[in-house]
A and B are shown apart, each in its own frame.
Chain A
Amino acid sequence: MKIFSKYKVLLVGAALIASTMTACKKGFLDVSPNDQINANEAFSTPEKIRAAMTGIYDLTTTASNTSAYAHNMILNSDVKGGDVMIVSGAANYGRFTNGYQFIETPNSYEPTYYWATCYQIIANTNQFVANIPSAPLTDLQKTQYLAEARALRAEAYFWLVRWFSKPYALDPQALGVPIVKLPLGANQTPPGRGTVKQVYDFIVEDLKFAESNLPEYKSTTSIFRMNIPAVQGYLARVYLTMENWAEASRYAKLARATKPLSAANDLLNGFTAKTSEWIYAMNVRTDDNQGLLGVHSFYDPYDVGYSSFRVTDEFFNSFGSNDIRKQQFLVKSSASAAASTAQYRRRGEGYLINKFDYTTTTARNQVLIRSSEMYLIEAEAEARQGASHEDAAKLALFEIQKRAGVATTITANTGSALVKEIMNERAKELFGEGHKFFDLLRTKSIIDRTGSISHWKIVTFSPGDKKLVLPIPQTEINANPGIEPN
């Protein structure tokens, strides 16, 4: 073979090397992701700000093991409330058995993820509080975004303070949860816990700001985003919890003003599609891909979802035969069977529940506030203000009873009997929607399962019992040694 000339070889070599000297270019090491954007740019255009707001709602619907907002906090409230129970040995990877037995530890996922999810949402709303003033928006847009962000922040604090602190009604000076009003950096020391009252005052301040600054409610505005009636509904709830009966009643009326009760039959449609009385709800679409991780899946009676919830015999038996809501327990022989096969079915420790439909759609919206709750808040808040308010209470209660078919005239009860009747009506109307445990807490009731033939774990807790407050999660204690544990 002819030997290459020396220089030819050198040239070939040099050319080869030169061609592979990629790294000699400047900026070679600058890379950025294409499914994420730099946080500094998140508030740089109106479109991005809109997306950042949408993202906060997404955090509330995220279907994952954590799903605190999407199902876990709602279900846990009912399961602790005692009318609803988780069947023993449920095939849902152990979910809700902790809550049912009141045995959450600082390492359990309930306190861990309730805490983390709420503060994650708060941190995202605080980005709005910090960045909106200098964002490229009109002044009107700015206040509207701030109002929306602060309403979402109040919602998160309301969850937090009810799970992690003693009830306001019991001790407003008890330890609250840390209040952060602006983004908290990695090197900043988090604030301490303050009092329950401080948290409620902060919630009310945020909600009031939202009420005055959110865009006026129009029928085109989505009930799946913070709107004025939703904020008023939250104010009614918050004031009820604070035992400010007059304000609770006033806001309950305001919230339902444009939201008439729907027809009785809507109570049997599975609570997936909005009705005239829905005020605020979580939107779940097929592309949210919630799968088995939604409220509906756990209530489903057909083993299509997790199908792990039952109502106790005591609660089931408390419904009158004329109560249309009793039909929420009619279960067909299978999901696809004829309606004629529907009957009350007991399985495991209690009755199967068909209030929430899981089998016909993957777009299962989750109602958060509806008018019937507002009527019940009004009734309760009025009744608790004494005899002079009882007529108003009875009228509000009658709206609910009339629709359910359990009464044709207003009740004759007065005093504590009236209050008791309202609370019973409330339990039947709202079961499965995340209220019962908090109702027991704010009314300082004893949580008592003694004598139940359904419950597989008998418990008795007096108001103020340590077990009624979730422990501060271990992850928080580890990273924030300054936090006071429960």
Chain B
Amino acid sequence: MLRHLSCFILLQILFTGVIAQEYILSGTVSQEGTKLPLTGVNIKIKGGVTVTQSDSKGDFKLIIPDSEAQIVVSYVGYVTQEIKPGKAEYINIVLRSEQTNLNEVIVVAYGTVKKENFTGSASTVKSETFENRPITSFEKALQGAVAGVQVTSVSGQPGSTSSVRIRGVGSLSGSSTPLYVLDGVAITNGNMSYMGQTLEVTNTADVLSMLNPNDIESVTVLKDASAAAIYGSRAANGVILINTKKGKSGKTQFSATSSGGYSYQAVPKHDILNGSEYYKLFWDNYYSQKIKAGNTSTDAVTAANELTNTKLFGSKTKNNYNTISPFTAKDVLAPGAALYYDTDWRDAVLRKGITKDINVSAQGGTDKIKYFVGGGYFDQKGIVIGSDFKRYSGRVNFSNNVSDKFSLGINNSLSYSDQNTPPGAGGAANPVRFADLVSNIYPLYVMDANGAFVLNASGNKTYSYVNSVTPDYNPLGLAELDEYNTRTARVISNPYAELKFLKDFKVRTSVGVDYITNRERQFYNTLHGNAAIIGRGYRYSREDITLTFINTLSYNKSLGDHLIDVLVGQEAFKSRLDNNYSQATNFAFPGVDELISASTPTIARSFYTEKRFESYFSRVNYSFENKYFLSASFRRDGSSTFGTSNQFGNFYSVGGAWRLMKERFFQNVSFLNELKLKASFGKSGNDKINTDNNRALDGRYASQSLYSLGKNYEGEGGMSYTQLGNPDLGWEKNTSIDVGLEFAAVNNRLSGEFSYYNRGSDGLLYFKQLSRITGFEGINTNFASMDNYGFELLLNAQPFKGKKLDWNISFNYARNTNRIRKIGNAEYLDNSAKRWREGINRYQWYIRDYAGVDPADGKPLWYKDEIGVDGKPKRTTTSTWGTATLYDNLGSSLPKYTGGFNSTLKYQQFDFNLFAYFSVGNKIYDGLYALLMHNGSSIGQQLSTDVLKAWQKEGDITSVPRFEISNTDLGNNTSSRFLFDGSYIRVKNISLGYTLPKKQVQPVGLSSARIYLMAENLFTIARHKGMDPEVEITGVNNNDVPNIKTISLGINIGL
């Protein structure tokens, strides 16, 4: 009933009347500082029709309807002013250039606000940060650009997802990802790939990479409650507002940019053994075994040759040498013995990546009609075989002020991508994993007994599929035979209409359509690898449609020094994700891969999931004398995710700001330009139970008790009890406090901001582990609580300011502490070796502590806590991994602090930009290094050169345990041995540009031209070498396509 009433009231407000009374106002407009008159400035009555312009002397005349009227003075490149002349007949207007920071207009929830009036905490990143970067998605450019925003892009696969965390990690097992809002409408983010979720295929198909970064005008990150809480339910982990480029009135501006670049692996991996070192390590081990057993050295040599051949190659008469007995004595190679080959698998699967990026756009318009049209083509060939991404994108933004009162417009984004991804994760066909794990002793190509390549019918070398780690796999061969393809199309369309009435009221309605389709093809060939002999094909298709309806009514009024701005609104969305998946085997013959050519259908599956949302919200902003600011918001949200009793949640915020600069006692402090104190408090929510990249199972029905279908047996349809319901499941709530200080000094050439925050998350959505005796792994609950607190510092300085030399530097720093406040008595483990316990960090490592090598026998040791004979606890060591104690005081995978540094230098026609990111104080686990230190337990598996430092005889002091064939010491099992300091600094971007002088480009019909050389991820300085320090938030590296560095050359042209 209440709902109906609110809808009705909203409509009723529209119908009321108006009154008027007129006089003439004259005045002049001049520039701040120089006091020179400004020509062509638009002056009009706020909410009115008539527009006048200042003449060459800066003078103007305008009819004022009544003493309450306000005039709006606007001029391109200058801050728009609203003035209430009252009864004055002549005024002097001074316009300030838009450069100064605090006068920026920033985009906030459901509108814009002047930065100086803003009570919340938000950071804006401008288009310069995204443009021309060789990246598929804009989030990758946020890294280090905004204080308190942690962005990690782990994969070098173009089009892969990044994880973004604002002010720490707010959720336990629910999503900690912020809400993404494009031109005012919330959009879908995450990984849409079915293939990437259900099978071991590399992290792929980020739907945000469907947005061309070059179409983005700015991105605003809303960090505290005052800024974000109006998004209520979905703002608990912050909000990222993306604003696309809009047309500006004036002459049509064409622009074209083109760039191309090469990519390489960003960070080199650990050194590994070559083919002869690997063979010799095994040989030596067998030799000393035999000597120890009392054999003569001649017998030991013969045995070692034979045993090594058998162990590594499965036959006494096979190995990687040109002789079956490569050694004639210890350390003595047989005369003429040489390697037939020494396969560098890493080299074989890596290649030079290539990026091409072309964008054209046009924008312009009149006072009434404005448009922006853009098109882009992005093509990146990844650095690993079988990895590429192509995107075709288009954008049309259009707006029309039909009348002074009525305007409408539409923002459209269309894009299509075609992407190939190599298999990933732990799959045997993953080229990266294969190259890391298979030793050099196995051949890439088939060779005959004399070491000559065996050629196939078409005269090419034949791939060899023989190795003992993953028999019948060869990543190069499989890359030619198998397929992993994802094609995604996305349309985001957002029509809106706005109506002004009764002078101070404005009603706006908009509809957002976010449509994504995703079609995937996966094929395992019949000859080798995952589905040898029969072959296996997969087809996935997905369709995700989200419709969002937003209606707002705003009221804006100034009464003397009082300004009030009220917003009420209603929002609803419905989202449906439709899935189709089929699979078949037994392909007719090699070379055919469509399912129709397979004889045995094995899987046919279709289903959809839905989610709906309805919300009512309001916000009031009030300011007095442009000095004191207050804002408050309230929102009520209902989500279909929760049990009927807890579907609705109430969210709110209050915030205030005080511009101390405006107080009389600061009037004489001439070096200060701005000083503002602000504080906010509020509550927002989260209903995303899913972890980031699992949209198929995103917990849309988390509160319900469910039997799942598809549990078939003997050809009959079945179902089983898969989810224990929790009808009380409700909103996860996040309460945050934010206190900040902003300042600007020395003619705005030094400015900055300091803020302190404390976010308390309660009723955390998480999957509480149950005793398995219940038959269930756990249940969705709102039980736990967690805190994040810290501070952020932002400093901007402009050491040089001028036309010839202009230099801007900025620095940001954020420190965050995460602590689990409440989780109950039991201790829960997540699947990445972390323990959740009250009083510690959510990402605290929980592993065994390595105690080095026992000098007596070379076995690895770990610490163990025991109760001593005296009844007191004592710490000893053990060589049995299983009985060692797990500790949670070995560090966390969350960095202690992160930040960025940016320097922009312009000198005459040159510009130089440097942008670096740092992350300090976390512990990362080098899983690859652990695999490479198996010390003989995994036959044929690659070894790090550090294995050569292994313990050899009693008394040896080393940190590397003994090497033994078929080693069972478990020395490389998870422990602090492979936990390293994850601190690093990365130079994210360096560019050097040259803008051609106007007099050179104008004769050829161009208005501007700039050429530049750019390097992305050029240097990384890390405490731990051998792995890319930019890892998942869990601190674990994966076997996916490694991060890349890209060097590109480009040109931007304006017409």
Taking Cβ atoms with an 8 Å cutoff, the residues of A that contact B are: 1, 3-4, 6, 9-10, 12-14, 16-18, 20-24, 28-40, 42, 48, 50-59, 61, 88-89, 91, 93, 101, 103-105, 115-116, 119-124, 126-127, 178, 180, 183-186, 188, 190-191, 222, 224-225, 283, 285-289, 303-304, 307, 335, 347-348, 359, 362, 456-457, 473-476, 478-481, 483
Contacts and interface: CB of A to CB of B under 8 A. Distances in A.
B347 interface: no
Interface stretch (B377-385, B706-714, B982-990): B706-714
Contacts of A115: 772
A10 B640 CA distance: 34
Contacts of A33: 607, 609, 700-701, 704, 706
A40 B127 CA distance: 54
* Secondary structure class of chain B's binding surface, majority of residues: mixed
B610 interface: yes
Given A10-B499, A57-B718, A478 B773 contact: no
B572 A39 contact: no
Contacts of B772: 115-116, 119-120, 473, 475-476, 479
Contacts of B49: 3
A31 B428 CA distance: 40
B775 A186 contact: no
19 contacts: A9-B406, A13-B509, A23-B572, A29-B638, A35-B709, A42-B707, A50-B716, A51-B718, A54-B716, A54-B718, A59-B720, A61-B713, A93-B426, A285-B714, A287-B715, A289-B602, A303-B472, A478-B829, A480-B771
B684 interface: no
A180 B828 CA distance: 24
Given A21-B549, A37-B706, A91-B470, A103 B775 contact: no
A184 B773 contact: yes
B551 A39 contact: no
B583 interface: yes
Interface residues of B, number: 111
A12 to B, nearest CB: 7
A478 B403 CA distance: 67
Nearest to A107: B829
A36 B721 CA distance: 9
Interface string B799-838: 0000000000000000000000000011111000000000
B119 interface: no
Contacts of B15: 10
A18 B570 CA distance: 12
B501 A10 contact: yes
A54 B712 contact: yes
B614 interface: yes
B722 A122 contact: no
A13 B773 contact: no
A91 B777 CA distance: 29
Contacts of B827: 478
B585 interface: yes
Nearest to B773: A190
Given A304-B532, A359-B533, A123 B611 contact: no
B839 interface: no
Interface stretch (B89-97, B352-360, B670-678, B933-941): B933-941
B770 A186 contact: yes
Contacts of A116: 772, 777
B829 A475 contact: yes
B405 A55 contact: no
A42 B607 contact: no
Interface centre among A31, A59, A347, A359, by most chain B C-beta atoms within 10 angstroms, is: A31
A213 to B, nearest CB: 21
B769 interface: yes
A169 B148 CA distance: 63
A401 to B, nearest CB: 34
Contact of B314 (A34, A51, A119, A348): A348
B458 interface: no
Contacts of B714: 54, 57, 222, 224-225, 283, 285
Interface stretch (B6-14, B58-66, B743-751): B6-14
A39 B777 contact: no
B717 interface: yes
B189 interface: no
Nearest to B777: A116
B713 A54 contact: yes
B647 interface: yes
Given A33-B609, A225-B714, A335-B533, A88 B939 contact: yes
Contacts of B4: 24
A478 to B, nearest CB: 5
B600 interface: yes
A355 to B, nearest CB: 19
B614 A29 contact: yes
Interface string B480-523: 00000000000000000101010000010111000000000000
B607 A3 contact: no
B882 interface: yes
Contacts of A289: 583, 602-603
B608 A3 contact: no
Contacts of B292: none
B889 interface: no
Contact of A476 (B509, B613, B773, B778): B773
Interface in B527-558: 532-534, 547, 549-551
Given A17-B551, A21-B7, A35 B773 contact: no
A364 B720 CA distance: 23
Contacts of A121: 775
Given A186-B776, A478-B828, A480-B773, 6 more contacts: A21-B7, A31-B612, A37-B709, A38-B707, A303-B472, A362-B585
Contact of B614 (A23, A93, A126): A23
A61 to B, nearest CB: 6
Interface centre among A24, A115, A127, by most chain B C-beta atoms within 10 angstroms, is: A24
Contacts of B611: 31
B468 interface: yes
Contact of A12 (B406, B426, B607): B406
B706 A186 contact: no
Nearest to A93: B426
List of 10 A-B pairs having minimum Cβ-Cβ separation, nearest first: A123-B775, A54-B718, A89-B939, A23-B572, A23-B614, A35-B607, A55-B720, A55-B718, A480-B771, A39-B705
Contacts of B509: 13, 16-17, 20
Interface centre among A38, A473, A483, by most chain B C-beta atoms within 10 angstroms, is: A38
Given A22-B549, A36-B709, A42 B11 contact: no
A36 B699 CA distance: 13
Contacts of B829: 474-475, 478
Contact of A303 (B406, B471, B603, B713): B471
A135 to B, nearest CB: 14
Contacts of A120: 772, 775-776
Contacts of A479: 769-772, 778, 826, 828
Contacts of A184: 771, 773-775
A456 B881 CA distance: 19
B268 interface: no
Contact of B608 (A4, A22, A34, A359): A34
Contact of B549 (A1, A23, A89): A23
Contacts of A93: 426
A17 B776 CA distance: 46
Given A16-B497, A119-B775, A474-B829, A51 B601 contact: no
Given A10-B499, A362-B534, A31 B701 contact: yes
B1006 interface: no
Nearest to A39: B705
Interface string B910-941: 00000000000000000000000000011111
Contacts of A42: 707, 719, 721
A103 B970 contact: yes
B80 interface: no
Given A103-B970, A127-B721, A91 B428 contact: yes
